[in-house]
C-alpha cells in the first residue's frame, strides 16, 4: 500500500452551546471526531485525532477515501440544534507520526511460573529488556536499527 506523506481533509468545526465545547468531525472519516474547550484546542486535537485515525486505517490496510471537495459538503446535515458550524481543512504530515507510532512503547502481559519470577526479581532482572533482546535475537534484528529509529523519532518530534 502506497502511503502518502500528507493528508488534507475537510472537517466540520462547530460549537455546541449546551456543552460549551467546540467539536470537529470529518464527513469522509466516519468515527473520527474530537472536541476542545476552545477553538484552538479543538483544532489542535483535530490534527492528532485525524493522524491517529488515518494511521489506524493504514495499519489495518483499510481503503482510505479521497477527501470531498469543499464545495460539495452539505452543511445542512450538520446544522441541527442551531449550532454554529464552519468547514475547515485539516492537514497532517504522516512520516513523523508513523515514526512516533512505530517506536512507541507498548505493554504486554507475560506469564511466568512463580519460582522463575521470584528468581528473576531476586537477580534484579529487567523483564522488558530481556524480552526485547530475546525477540530481536529470534527475529535477527540488530539493536543498532532500533537505536536509529528511536533517534529519528526524537529528532522529528
Q: What is the 3-state secondary structure (H, E, C) of 9-41?
A: EEEEEEEECCCCEEEEECCCCCCCEEEECCHHH
76 domain-assigned:
yes
Contacts of 35 (CB under 8 A, 6+ apart): 21, 22, 23, 24, 42, 45
Residues 92 and 150 placed together within one structural domain of the fold: no
Residue 130 sits in the same domain as residue 148: yes
Split into its structural domains, the chain has a count of 2
One domain for residues 91 and 113: no
Residue bearing cell 526479581: 121
**Joined grid coordinates for residue 69:** 471537495
Q: Is residue 59 part of a domain?
A: yes
31 is in which domain, residue-wise?
Answer: 6-100
68 near 28, Cβ under 8 Å?
yes
Regarding whether 35 and 92 lie in a shared domain, the answer is yes
41 and 85 together in one domain: yes
Whether residue 92 sits in one domain with residue 128: no
Same domain, 47 and 81: yes
Please report, in tens digits, the pLDDT of each residue of the chain (157 residues total): 679 999 999 999 999 888 899 999 999 999 999 999 999 999 999 999 999 999 999 999 999 999 999 999 988 887 766 678 899 999 999 999 998 888 877 788 888 899 998 998 899 988 888 888 888 888 888 766 656 655 655 555 5
Amino acid at each position: 500500500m502506497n502511503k502518502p506523506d500528507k493528508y488534507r481533509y475537510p472537517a466540520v468545526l462547530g460549537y455546541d452551546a449546551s456543552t460549551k465545547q467546540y467539536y470537529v468531525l470529518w464527513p469522509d472519516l466516519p468515527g473520527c471526531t474530537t472536541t476542545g474547550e476552545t477553538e484552538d484546542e479543538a483544532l489542535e486535537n483535530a490534527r492528532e485525532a485525524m493522524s491517529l485515525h488515518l494511521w489506524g486505517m493504514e495499519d489495518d490496510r483499510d481503503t482510505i477515501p479521497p477527501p470531498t471537495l469543499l464545495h460539495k459538503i452539505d452543511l445542512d446535515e450538520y446544522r441541527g440544534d442551531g449550532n454554529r458550524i464552519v468547514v475547515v481543512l485539516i492537514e497532517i504530515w504522516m512520516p513523523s507520526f508513523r515514526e512516533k507510532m512505530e517506536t512507541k512503547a507498548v505493554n504486554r502481559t507475560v506469564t511466568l511460573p512463580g519460582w522463575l519470577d521470584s528468581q528473576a526479581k531476586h537477580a534484579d532482572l529487567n523483564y522488558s529488556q530481556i524480552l526485547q533482546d530475546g525477540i530481536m535475537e529470534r527475529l535477527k534484528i540488530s539493536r543498532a536499527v532500533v537505536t536509529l529509529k528511536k533517534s529519528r523519532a526524537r529528532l522529528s518530534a
